[in-house]
Amino acid sequence: MDPALLFVILTVFCSTLFLTAIKRWSSHRLPLPPGPKGLPLLGYLTQLGPLPHQTFHRLSEKYGPLLHVRLGVVPVVVPCTATVAEKLLRNDIKFINRPKNSSAEHVAYNYQDIGFLPYGPKWRMQRRLCSLHLFSSKALDDFQHSRQSELARLVYSMAEQSGKGSKATVDVGKELAECVGNALSLLLVGRRVFEEGPEVEEFRNMVMELMTLTGSFCIADFLPGIGWLDPQGLISRMKKLNQKFDKFLGMFIAEHRAELTSERPKGAVEDGKPCNRDLLSVMLELQENADGEGDKLTDIDIKALLLSMFSAGSDSNSILAEWALAELIRVPDVLSRAQAELDSVVGRDRLVSESDLPNLPLLQAIIKETLRLHPPAPISIPRMAVEDCEVDGYLIPKGATLLLNIWAIGRDPVAWPDTPLAFRPDRFLPGGRHEGVDLKGSHFGLLPFGTGRRMCVGMNLGLRLLGMLTATLVHSFDWYLPEGERIEDLDMEEKANGLSVIRATPLVARPVPRLAPQAYLKT
């Protein structure tokens, strides 16, 4: 037989077998979850809008609680109810890794940040160090003085402004952002961010840029191959920011190493107060005392961890405390009850301390309700399917991105059947429908810090900061809206701010001191 003819016959035969196999495989392949079609190449990218969590929520009302949306060339799956989220993440090993992300690559030292490290020995080592040495109850107790000091400064500043007249108001979010920024930077590197001086101003601007860029929607993440074009200019900004942070953090590390050689004896005091170290000092000690190379933090690891903590904690707590106060102003009865609880536990002669928090059940319920309605990140940090899996008869293909719509889950009428859109902290109190629900990721209707192995490692610090901020605002002042404004007209619309969602209209209110004069003394 002619060799050319034989080649044609074999080619046709093999092609037929291949196409038949593909057809049979496809006929048994599960369908993808329902969702909108989108545009060629771009998918649904251009239709997400400024508040993607709300867009996904509206789509879920049309297509169902498990959405499939194509963003560029990336298949994205979005669970929007507690039931679907639990089916996917009760055992989250199939979604344990993160997809490619420009900010993690260009800002966080090429995925060395604990949030984006691949699941494996290095991730487990860093997670263990954070849990045991940085964010354990004992570690947080050791560092509480700086947080208490910044809260006293906040109270003094607001009291001083309120003394300027009966119409004096404060921009609550601005005051809280300064307090949290200073408390966090003192905790991490032993410096206050919001102070005078060119060096401090540069560092503050870097932190603000970090929060913007880490939450930015980078098109290159969804259209591979165009990163070099950098159509939004984001990648260039990320690289420049990394260089600036690397310089600053390197300077902090060098200073701390020098100080460690002349460290005061354990338990030393200065001006009658404990000389507490910061977390950078702790990490350098762990680096120095590590038993083996596999358990040793590198300088890059330390820098990436510090970056992660700055980006995750700088704005979320101040934003949440502003939302909490706004909700309480709209429900004066709950605000009055919270003040009465604080007065009974703390009294009116001093400010709240962290040791008071466990004795304030209504305050804890207020925190949970705020996190339910206003989660720090309305859409979770993305996860990636490491293998094909099936949920409710639908295929989640390997490589698909999983975006948990935490905002929608907090409003799920099945998980929250009792007025899900209303601010009702009593639902968490004894006798309430959701008594006993916690924030540790086991109750899938309330996942502000995520769930499973990848849940937020700094949750304990975040809860302490948020609890102290909210308790201090409620305990230290009575709150009134500016003259002429009514409670029912208070704007509660949202606005995107990186990964977080802030108030579209900043909360401006009049604080009136309600404690004994000595509680407002400047520290």
Q: Which residues are annotated as a binding site for heme?
A: 456
As a whole number of Å, the CA-based R_g of the chain is 26
Residue 313's nearest CA partner among 102, 499, 127 is 499
What are the DSSP E strand ranges found in 72-173?
74-79, 170-171
Let me know: does 232 contact 219? Beta carbons within 8 Å.
yes
* Residue numbering of the annotated binding site: 456
SS (H, E, C) 188-217: HHCCCCCCCCHHHHHHHHHHHHHHHHHCCC
The DSSP-derived string for 8-31 is HHHHHHHHHHHHHHHHHHHHHSPP
Cβ neighbours of residue 306 closer than 8 Å, sequence gap 6 or more: 188, 189, 249, 279, 280
SS3 480: strand
Residue 520's nearest CA partner among 169, 151, 155, 146 is 155
Residue type, 450: G
How many Å apart are CA 167 and CA 493, to the nearest integer? 25
Query: Residue 133 gets which letter from DSSP?
Result: I
Cβ neighbours of residue 434 closer than 8 Å, sequence gap 6 or more: 416, 427, 428
Let me know: does 77 contact 33? Beta carbons within 8 Å.
yes
Cβ neighbours of residue 362 closer than 8 Å, sequence gap 6 or more: 334, 337, 338, 341, 425, 429
Cβ neighbours of residue 231 closer than 8 Å, sequence gap 6 or more: 219, 220
460 burial type by CB count under 10 A (0-12 exposed, 13-18 middle, 19+ buried): middle
